[in-house]
Amino acid sequence: MGQAWDVVGDVHGFADDLIQLLEKLGYEQRAGVYRHPNRRVLFLGDFIDGGNQNRRVMEIVRPMVDAGGSLAIMGNHEYNAICYHTRDPDQPGGYLRAHSKKNLGQHENTLAEFDDPAALQDMIEWFKTLPLFIEIDGLRAVHACWDPAAIESLRSRLGERPVMSESFLVESCDKASAAHDAVETVLKGLEFELPAGITFKDKYGQARREARIRWWMENAESLDKMVIGPPGLDAATAGHNAERSKLVGYEPDLPPIFFGHYWLTGEPRLQGSNVACLDYSVARGGKLVAYRWDGEQMLDESKLVW
């Protein structure tokens, strides 16, 4: 059996919840680092942007990773933060992620806590060291979507431990590039353009016509079973045909896959025998969730902890 891993979903600036979860999992703080005698944590990204304890979250997570006892991958909020604070070489005075009202709104809680420019830049530089996905000890982890084409594209450019170079980062912000498509897929997931007349508001109040999809499914009976969104979206898409060709699927004989990103609600459960989404909306009064993995191919729902 390989290493015993506790895989933790999106934290989004909720340090108190993270501490409670780590302590429930048996981790104790020693010399400023939460440790377990025989287990390690694998964080699925999205540490910031949500609650009001973003800096404290980083003071917990980063020492765990830097000490070598834990691992972390990049989430879309880390990627967005890097781009928000990186100058666009092709646009004097501009940034890779526009400083628009919407983008500022998503990031303002974090900015309010990192009022020291040096500390903020130090955090951004650390984010740049995070890989876009991990395959280790017989498990896979990605923030949003394990799409074979996107994964292979990133591996071919960045290697088995895919950390973005500065040039690749800039390229990934070009919407016409293959780098952009691959990064968007693994960090933000696949989306589907809804039928005419159907829109919904995302968590930031923005009207949207493209919905995230349950990419891990092999098929779906109807469109409402395929898309992920607020309850109103289920009702609006019920009765519409699913676009099964948009689904990637995830075969049951593949290594267990862990991801976050999708703001699930209710009682945590598995999405398949080897598929686990661990984002249960802690930033909206939901749960911070972990899975205690001990090398098993077939996941066990009783090993979900929150």
Average pLDDT over residues 47-53: 96
For residue 251, give both structure tokens: 């075969």
Direct distance between the N- and C-terminal alpha carbons of the chain, in angstroms, rounded to an integer: 25
- Cα–Cα separations (whole angstroms), residue 36 to 142, 270, 291: 23, 25, 15
Q: What pTM was computed for the model?
A: 0.95
CB 27 within 8 A of CB 69: no
- Burial (CB < 10 A; 0-12, 13-18, 19+), residue 283, is buried
Residue with tokens 């289920």: 234
The string of pLDDT tens digits covering residues 274-296 is 999 999 999 999 999 999 999 99
Average pLDDT over residues 256-262: 97
**Interatomic CA distance for residues 147 and 153, integer angstroms:** 10
Number of domains in the chain: 2
pLDDT at residue 256 above 90? yes
pLDDT at residue 143 above 90? yes
CB 250 within 8 A of CB 283: no
**Are 181 and 196 within one domain?**
no
We report the CATH number of the domain holding residue 291 as: 3.60.21.10
Query: What mean pLDDT, rounded, does the chain reach?
Result: 95
**Are 99 and 197 within one domain?**
no
The string of pLDDT tens digits covering residues 6-23 is 999 999 999 999 999 999
**Are 155 and 253 within one domain?**
yes
**Are 39 and 181 within one domain?**
yes
- Burial (CB < 10 A; 0-12, 13-18, 19+), residue 135, is middle
- Burial (CB < 10 A; 0-12, 13-18, 19+), residue 68, is exposed
Nearest Cα to Cα of residue 24 among 287, 306, 294: 306
Domain extent for 14: 5-190+248-305
Average pLDDT over residues 43-72: 97
**Are 225 and 275 within one domain?**
no
Q: What is the dihedral of CA 250, 296, 57, 285, to 10 degrees?
A: 70
**Are 9 and 48 within one domain?**
yes
Average pLDDT over residues 33-38: 96
